[in-house]
Amino acid sequence: MENGLGKLNFKDEDRELGMLLLVYGFDFSYLTGNSLSGNVSNWMITSGNSINLFGSFSGDKTFEDRVSCLGNRSCPTNSSGSTRLNINCGGEKLRVEDKEYEGDPQPGGASYFSAVDGRWGFSNTGNFLGAGERDNYIIGQKSCGVSTDTSGLYTSARTSAISLTYYALCMPKGSYNVSLHFAEIVFTNDETYSSLGRRVFDIYIQNVLKEKDFDISARAGGVMKAIVVPYTVNLNTSILEIRLYWAGNGTTSVPTQGNYGPLISAISVEPSKLLPISNSLCV
């Protein structure tokens, strides 16, 4: 279930929503993209991974105000720990030049939330259409065809069937340089069926649409080519949120069914200038 509820108020419709999920026996319920309002009922919070509420609320309150997954956390006092973040999405810990990229090997799931060391985490939403039991959310290559000095970042990637969101916790307010690393490592540039694939998704940062119908290979000039897309973000809250969203465009069955949706190789975040460090709770 995704994008099918429209505007819904939990106070008025909580009973109806619960009965709907019960009667139809959904294994997973994806409420991403809706405009829900009101308080989150306890049964939804305690239902395990079967209900994903991320990105489902309207209004100006942020994600941490609605769902208790993040909780109250003490911010790290180390400057590099609270103002800089490098993630090798879907891969192991890796050092590239002067940057240490943290590993991100968790397999994920169709309705999945993971926080890493209380500093960053990700939320994944969606089953791949027609993929059967496949549903692999990490894509890896035994030998990467990406020819760059940082090709270690592009031998693996994290993907999602609907919505993939990374967030950094306890970030001091200020201006940040956010770099998103991409390479299309599934499709090919030969004369096979795999060359016909087209991956298209949207990119949001702090709930602001940055890229509509972003196509990795088109932007990079071909498949197996790396591209780093930079953004400047003025952060006025304690959480930096990077969301990749599949809006239904592009191919879905090339080279096999279930190959579509957002894909990202790495994330780099660093302050545009020196920022103050605070060890207060994330609020």
Q: Are residues 205 and 237 in the same domain?
A: yes
Q: Are residues 87 and 164 in the same domain?
A: yes
Give the pLDDT of residue 116. 81
pLDDT tens, residue by residue, 143-198: 456 765 566 899 999 999 999 999 998 889 999 999 999 999 999 988 899 999 99
> Among 7-11, 101-105, 271-275, where is mean pLDDT lowest?
7-11
Give, as one character, the DSSP assignment of residue 75: P
Give the pLDDT of residue 152. 84
Give the pLDDT of residue 114. 86
How many distinct structural domains can be found in the chain? 2
Q: Are residues 127 and 17 in the same domain?
A: no
Give the pLDDT of residue 130. 75
Domain that holds residue 104: 79-271
Whole-angstrom Cα distance, residue 176 to residue 270?
A: 6
Q: Are residues 134 and 203 in the same domain?
A: yes
Q: Are residues 20 and 104 in the same domain?
A: no
Using CA atoms, how far residue 70 sits from 56, 125, 195, 201, 235, in Å, is 16, 17, 41, 26, 18
Mean pLDDT of 56-78: 53
Q: Are residues 44 and 124 in the same domain?
A: no
* pLDDT bucket at 233, cuts 50 / 70 / 90: very high
pLDDT tens, residue by residue, 134-156: 678 999 864 456 765 566 899 99
Q: Is residue 277 part of a domain?
A: no
Tokens 């080519």, located at residue: 225
